[in-house]
A and B are shown apart, each in its own frame.
Chain A
Amino acid sequence: MTTQITSTPPTARFRKEASRWPAGSHAADVGRPSFGWALPAALFFTLFAIVPLVMVAVLSFMSWNGLGSPQFVGMDNWSRLVDDPVMLKSIWTTLLLTALGILIQTPLSIVLGAWAAGHQRNRAVLSAVYFVPLLLSATAVSVLWRALLDPNFGIPADAHWLFGDGNLFGKQATAIGVLAFVSTWQFTPFHTLIYQGAARAIPQVLYQAAEIDGAGRYRQFFHITLPQLRNSMITSMILMTVGGLTTFETVLILTQGGPGTDTTISAYYMYEKAFKGFDFGTGSAIALTLVVASTVISLIVVRVSGYDKMRSSMEGVA
């Protein structure tokens, strides 16, 4: 079974098939499903994802407290957000956390992935353990680390030599450090897996040739493995960016946005505004900025990762 959804499908065999019947001939369409097969899923998805997406744009120009009907207020929500220091700070915090995640996780998961793609005997066991954090909900992971890092009952209380006064959640730098560490802990396995899959796909002849030329392991890594992983690096970093923009439970459970507003990232600020402050209009405006950011990034994903190639080589779809 192959589920490499971004791999290029075997275009050649589709072309061969298509050429057997002239375009437009009836024989080519015998036994082909009509678009009706796609409709139930499309309608369901439209109702529960696309309609709300359109509504979030509309609601961002409205005032709504959750009761009664929303009132149109024009640019009010937007102009208030532009002047809101917390909003600006939340964007910076979001970007900082996203950047930290990429800078820590990328080298780590490349090295682990390249290593796990090899043939060591203990590799399978290790990869099985590495994988576990990925199964846990963000909620479970956050609750676990909140407990392990508790200033009074957690590991810091035992290890003052390492953690100082132990109150990691009380200062901006350490609170951000904790958030970056926890998402690294949870998501490095996933990115390791991406690199592991990609590293396995590198043709062995490249390494054999390098070996004959006398290139050592580290030369092989920097001159063969790393360049061959370029596409995966882009995909993985983009996924990290989208993931970073939409982090939520980790902040809600670990820091509640604090100390002060020091770890209030945009997604959390949206939740606070809408569901704690009952200002759903402003919440929608923040949500819309998230949509725009993540759509732009995902369009880049589609471009770079080859999802769009898959579409264009689909048979029969011009």
Chain B
Amino acid sequence: MRRRPNYLAGVGSTVWLFVVGLPLYVMLAATLRTRSDYAENGPVSVPDAFTLDNYFGAFDANFGQYFLNTIAVTVAVVALVLVLVPPLSFAIVRSRSKVTSLVFRLFLLGLAIPAQAVIVPMFYLISEAGLYDNLLGVILPTAAFCLPMSALILSGAMRDISPELFEAMAVDGATPRRMFFQLVVPLSRGGLSTITVFSALQAWNGFLFPLVLTQSDSTKVITLGLYNFQTEHGIDIPGLLGAVMLSMIPVLLVYLFARRALVQGLMGVGGK
């Protein structure tokens, strides 16, 4: 209905496009040029030679291992979230028990707990459990901290299932178990993909738990690899940015395929 073009907003949004896009371009360009080219001609110049060495360099710095570790953590976290959250959300939406209502409140409260707040006792617990410097010790707390938001997103999606469908199944004598697998899970596929993407992103980008709960190279994840690469090779900026770029590629691929689920899920956080 707004027919006249909004020039001011158009200019503003273009300016912001540059603020967001330019650093991303500089990074991409820097990763494709030699270190000497970058040092001599500066970050904003056009590359005069093309090379993939910066990416290979990251692999020489053990990034292959970090990748595998991060994939293991991400897959395990997503699996835990997908096993724990759907039954929880089903109960939140359909159960009439007072206990469920208490559990729901617990998760609402859980939204408020930042990882920094529990990192000291987490270090204590994980060490006591003998899981220090073990990927499992990273997976468990990371998954736990994905639960509150995933539960909110998924129960929001399950609420949209029409009660008439549940009634019809109840008339047919269906158990909760059958309703869950034949009705709830198929009809909340959208919500399930949102929480999958959401928790995968959390696990992939996680930093604090791995920083505090792991130590050796064999358990390092990619964010820690980046952090260490920076402290050790801080001057090799194209190499460093090559490592940053590598750490993002899987996420960008997921974004290309699951953009809608991700944007919708994050929009839901703000609500009306």
Given contacts A37-B88, A42-B106, A133-B20, contact A139 B95 (CB under 8 A): no
User: Contacts of B240 on A, CB cut-off 8 Å?
Assistant: 143, 147
Chain B CB within 8 A of A164 CB: no
User: Contacts of A201 on B, CB cut-off 8 Å?
Assistant: 272
Chain B CB within 8 A of A214 CB: no
The digit string for B111-142, where 1 denotes a CB below 8 A from any CB of A, is 11111111111111100000000000000110
User: Contacts of B78 on A, CB cut-off 8 Å?
Assistant: none
Chain A CB within 8 A of B44 CB: yes
Instruction: State how many angstroms separate the Cβ of A264 from the closest Cβ of chain B.
Output: 14
Given contacts A132-B24, A298-B111, contact A253 B227 (CB under 8 A): yes
User: Contacts of B191 on A, CB cut-off 8 Å?
Assistant: 1, 3
Given contacts A5-B271, A53-B118, A145-B23, contact A41 B12 (CB under 8 A): no
User: Contacts of A2 on B, CB cut-off 8 Å?
Assistant: 156-157, 160, 268
User: Contacts of B115 on A, CB cut-off 8 Å?
Assistant: 246
CA distance A237 to B159 in the complex (A): 27
Chain A interface, DSSP helix/strand/loop, else mixed: helix
Q: Are the C-beta atoms of B266 and A38 separated by less than 8 Å?
A: no
Chain B CB within 8 A of A17 CB: yes
Q: Are the C-beta atoms of B145 and A49 separated by less than 8 Å?
A: yes
Residue of A50, A283, A314 ringed by the most chain B CB atoms within 10 A: A314
Q: Which residue of A lies closest to B204 (CB)?
A: A137
- Contact among B17, B113, B170 with A31 in the assembled complex (CB-CB below 8 Å): B170
Other A-B pairs, 18, CB within 8 Å; known A3-B268, A232-B270, A317-B98: A3-B190, A4-B272, A30-B170, A33-B95, A41-B147, A48-B145, A51-B121, A126-B17, A128-B259, A131-B259, A147-B240, A147-B241, A153-B43, A158-B42, A185-B23, A290-B116, A295-B113, A298-B109
User: Contacts of B84 on A, CB cut-off 8 Å?
Assistant: 40-41, 44
User: Contacts of A32 on B, CB cut-off 8 Å?
Assistant: 94-96, 176
Question: Looking at the complex, which of A80-88, A110-118, A168-176 is the stretch in contact with chain B?
Answer: A110-118
CA distance A119 to B27 in the complex (A): 31
Q: Which residue of B lies closest to A16 (CB)?
A: B163
CA distance A128 to B20 in the complex (A): 11
